[in-house]
Structure 1
């Protein structure tokens, strides 16, 4: 078995096909919401990511088959006054789970973050995703809190649409 973890080149067709395939699989999984990506997302995701120099895409191939993916976006920590790297999406394809691919992907993410001078790597994980939480903990991640008396940070959202935006 040959494992290759690479920073994707979104001008290469095999990389873009792997990105869409893995993101579609992630979206269909219960941890991704259980619904496939929209046709709009499938048709525009690569172009939109390519416009963003702050986007970093890592793909894991096993014997040249797409097996894992991380999409990271640079952010900024105002408290540290330094960049940070947020793992926005991370998936290991079902047939390849339990083989250590997430740890290898996270090592590549950390190397990119270090090259960028980041002060930390952030991510969100569903409370019920015990396998992912275990993998993240084994790689040094933990819940975020500024003050233990105030508790852990929670990730919230407000969905926007054309109708809600002026």
Structure 2
């Protein structure tokens, strides 16, 4: 493997847009990601949709010109500190590149970018069925704030 680089995706660059979708599909096809690629009609709307969200950004990991990972992020705000935050919504490393420190590099790049943006923290969630990701996040210093166990719940709107 050559040196992996991290860059901020340009949502208007078709190569970057496809890299984002490919990395999301790499996660989606795993059991804890749902077991199937994102439907084409949804995949085609991922990057255009993110472009419409203020504060959305994606960091891409590259091995040369091959995309090997992505961190899809959105800025938010924490009322408890009255400052912005970054939420890592999706973190994906292509299967054959796992165990090589790419996830750590992506998380570190997210933290660095969040600091540049004046954010006070980075948040993320992890599925119980994804212990390898949880191990990475714990190793990178993520945990339950102030000792309170945190759960992420959602409700799909129809």
Q: TM-score, normalised to structure 2's length?
A: 0.94
Consecutive unaligned residues in structure 1, runs of 5 or more: 162-166
The correspondence of residues 124-139 of structure 1 with structure 2, limited to 5 A, is 124-139=125-140
Map Cα deviations across residues 67-121 of structure 1 (whole Å, 9 max, x no partner). 0000000111011111110000000000000000011101110011101111110
Matched, 1:91 2:88: no
Aligned to 1:19: 20
1: distance between equivalents of 2:151 and 2:107? 22
How far is the alpha carbon of 1:25 from its aligned partner? 1.7
Map Cα deviations across residues 38-93 of structure 1 (whole Å, 9 max, x no partner). 22211111111112231010100112211000000011101111111000000000
The correspondence of residues 87-166 of structure 1 with structure 2, limited to 5 A, is 87-144=88-145, 146=146, 148=147, 151-161=148-158
How far is the alpha carbon of 1:129 from its aligned partner? 1.6
RMSD, aligned α-carbons: 1.3
2: distance between equivalents of 1:64 and 1:143? 37
The question of whether the paired residues in 1 share the 8 Å contact of 2:26 and 2:93 is answered with: no
Aligned to 1:2: 3
Q: How many aligned positions are there?
A: 157
2: distance between equivalents of 1:62 and 1:50? 25
The question of whether the paired residues in 1 share the 8 Å contact of 2:89 and 2:124 is answered with: yes
Larger radius of gyration between Structure 1 and Structure 2: 1
Q: TM-score, normalised to structure 1's length?
A: 0.89
Aligned to 1:164: none
Runs of 4+, deviation exceeding 4 Å = none
